[in-house]
Amino acid sequence: MFSTFSLQPPPSKPSIAGHSFSSQFSSLFSLSLPSTLFLSSSHHHHFSTRTHRLRISAIDAAQPYDYESQLSQAHFQSTRLKIAIIGFGNFGQFLAKTLVKQNHTVLAYSRSNYISIAQSLGVRFFSDADDLCEEHPEVILLCTSIISTENVLKSLPLQRLKRSTLFVDVLSVKEFPKNLFLQHLPPDFDILCTHPMFGPESGKYGWNGLSFVYEKVRIGNDETKVSRVERFLQVFQSEGCRMVEMSCAEHDRNAAGSQFITHTVGRTLEKLGLESTPINTKGYETLLSLVENTCGDSFELYYGLFMYNKNAMEQIEKLELAFELVRKELFGHLHETLRKQLFGTAETLQVSQLQARYVLPTRVSQNGTALPPPSSSETSISSKD
pLDDT tens digits, the chain, 385 residues: what are they? 444 444 455 555 444 444 444 444 444 444 444 544 444 444 544 444 555 566 655 555 555 556 565 654 554 456 899 999 999 999 999 999 999 999 999 999 999 999 999 999 999 999 999 999 999 999 999 999 999 999 999 999 999 999 999 999 999 999 999 999 999 999 999 999 999 999 998 999 999 999 999 999 999 999 999 999 999 999 999 999 999 999 999 999 999 999 999 999 999 999 999 999 999 999 999 999 999 989 988 999 999 999 999 999 999 999 999 999 999 888 877 766 666 677 766 666 676 676 667 655 555 555 555 555 555 455 444 444 4
Alpha helices in 185-247 (DSSP H): 223-237
Same domain, 168 and 135: yes
pLDDT of residue 333: 77
Residue-number span of the structural domain to which 35 is assigned? 7-62
**Phi (first) and psi of residue 366, to 5 degrees:** -65, -30
Per DSSP, the three-state class of 98 is helix
What distance, in Å, lies between the first and last C-alpha atoms of the chain?
Answer: 134
User: Do 363 and 239 share a structural domain?
Assistant: no
pLDDT of residue 310: 96
Could you tell me if 148 and 165 lie in one domain? yes
Q: Which amino acid is at 126?
A: F
Do the Cβ atoms of 82 and 138 come closer than 8 Å? Answer: yes
Model pTM? 0.69
Q: Using the CB atoms, write b or e for 17-35: b if 16+ within 10 Å.
A: eeeeeeeeebeeeeeeebe
pLDDT value at position 385?
46
Query: Quick check: is 2 in a domain?
Result: no
Say whether both 99 and 241 belong to one domain: yes
By CB atoms closer than 10 A (0-12, 13-18, 19+), residue 143 is buried
Whether 119 and 187 share a structural domain: yes
Question: Does some domain include residue 1?
Answer: no
331 assigned to some structural domain: yes
Q: Say yes or no: 260 and 221 in one domain.
A: no
Whether 107 and 228 share a structural domain: yes
Between the alpha carbon of residue 49 and those of residues 29, 40, 334, the distances in Å are 20, 14, 112
The last residue of a domain, from among 246, 268, 291: 246
Let me know whether 179 and 220 are in one domain: yes
Give the chain's domain count: 4
Please give the radius of gyration of the chain, using alpha carbons only, rounded to the nearest integer: 36
Which residues are CB-neighbours of 54 under 8 A, at least 6 positions away? 30, 31, 33
301 and 372: one domain? Answer: no
- The CATH number of whichever domain residue 217 belongs to comes to 3.40.50.720
| CB contact set of 29 (below 8 Å; sequence gap of 6+) | 7, 10, 55, 56, 62
pLDDT given for residue 342 in this prediction: 74
Residue type at position 73: Q
pLDDT of residue 348: 60
Q: How far is the CA of 226 from the CAs of 1, 40, 85, 160, 215, in angstroms?
A: 72, 77, 21, 22, 14
Pair 209, 234: CB distance under 8 Å:
no
| Residues 265 and 202 reside in one and the same domain | no
Pair 76, 53 in one domain: no
Indicate the residue among 246, 274, 300 that finishes a domain: 246
- Is the backbone of residue 240 left (phi > 0), alpha (psi -120 to 50) or beta? left
Q: Clarify whether residues 344 and 212 are in a common domain.
A: no
Of the residues 246, 264, 296, which one is the last residue of a structural domain?
246
